[in-house]
Chains A and B, each alone.
Chain A
Amino acid sequence: MRIAVCIKQVPNTTEIKIDPVTNTLKRDGVPSIMNPDDKAALESALVLKDKYNAEVVVVTMGPPQAELILREAMSMGADEAFLVTDRAFAGSDTWATSTILAAALKKVGYDIIIGGRQAIDGDTAQVGPQIAEHLDIPQVTYVVEIDIDEKNNVCRVKKEFEDRYQIVEVKGKALFTVLSGMNEPRYMLVGGIVDQEEKAITVITVNDIEVDRGNIGLLGSPTKVKSSFSKTVDSNKELIELSPQEAAKVIADKLAEKHII
């Protein structure tokens, strides 16, 4: 069983800077971490490695410095790492990113793919499901438990809803997106940190994958960000303490007064 885990390097700060020209996030000079949902995805894969001796490979798309989270993943126990990087990929939206990653994952090879639900920088939750669509494989999102039955080629997963869980069985290749609350990711191991230094990372560029160049990068991205801005704190606040029923009426009246409803 070969498990491919999609991970992303994200800025570890709430002060995200935005490029005024492209309206996309500026990542240089901002401290970076492995996206928390993705770290949970990696942990869930490593648990399957511990249990069934599954092979865990990590894949990230990003600038060259994203190598750091691949090396972090190997220090935690991932077997192999792939860095999908090329200037031609820059400025990709979720459609272009999932197009590239799907093509890269075909090259990497997988039985199942696990990714985080969403990244803390964009919060779109689109890339995972889109990859599954590009690869034409089943997907289950918002997963909090994964178990595999290799003999019957089946994965049994627990999907979280707001008020209930659903147990889903998937046959064959599949993609799951997981939530960061599902587990407590392990620490990097001292031995793993020492060993990763000897391991090479496979770089995948635009020439290594089969993609239509018109579907990737900034120009291949149908999404155009109109404008981005930081929220300003409105000091014009009014504190009213009421029971829920009374409060609902007051809020409705206020919204009507401002012609919002």
Chain B
Amino acid sequence: MRRSASALAGLTYAHALSLLREALVRRSLGWPVALVIGTLLAVVAVTTVRRGNPTVLVLDGAPAWVEPTLHDAGFATVRGSDPVGPVQREVVLASTDGHQLNLGRGGPDAGRLEIALRRHHGSTWLPDVEGSLPDLRTTEIGGRRICRLLGGLYALYGAVFGLGALARDRDEGTLDAELTLPIGSWMPAFARWLAASLLLGLSWAVAVGMIDALLGVRDAGAMVRDGIGATAAAAALGVAAVGRAGLKASFSGPFTAVAAGIAGIVAFGTTWPGWGRHLPIASMVLGGDGWSPMFVGWALGPLAAVLFAWRGGRT
């Protein structure tokens, strides 16, 4: 038992290391995270550039109250005599003599400026410049949609990892070398599934976390669990389907079977949503608390490895 556990840990570590050293896998796992980080940086850059200059030009001869009032409202001020030129060149946000306001463009800062001046004059109305930040509920739904799309890609990765790792290693003889070790014939397949599921699950959790940080994802925890279950289940389908196929021979058959299996699970789940919420992959579309699909997805791994040993271990 101890020897089996140690062998499983060793093989899983070796396969995870092998995957991480593969440039294509690194890129595949890294790009969703890179995409989110890139988006975040782009948003910061764009808002910084487009924020405009909150400096106001106070025209020569303006009353003494103008500058303190604007400072109190959070604006910087400069003195000048040309009310139009600096505004058109966007050197300043606006120019004013305390009564008249020359604005280049609108926006929340322009609104706040108008409010500051109107307040001083005791105006009976003020513009509404609270702005309308997007409703969090709306962005959370958007975030969830993005996660679903990304989750579909991750499920595909899972299937390719499960199928491809075994088929390629069979061609290269690596699988046979492991199958002659004094361990169960299921273990080499299980270790590959475990390594792929752990790496994909971890990468998925990071990706959802970052989308949640940017946009918000409604029930992000459930989305993480759904994705972890989906990738594990898809990898398990790959392991179960590969049989004796290698990359060079008979690969298209198992790949088609896995693709059909994934489509079948989604179709079944959407037809019977009560069941579908508990099925990995289908639950990504249907939603739910994510716990049962995650457990089902991870329970499929050992079953797939046993099936692999039965179908493809010794012939």
Are A and B interaction partners? no
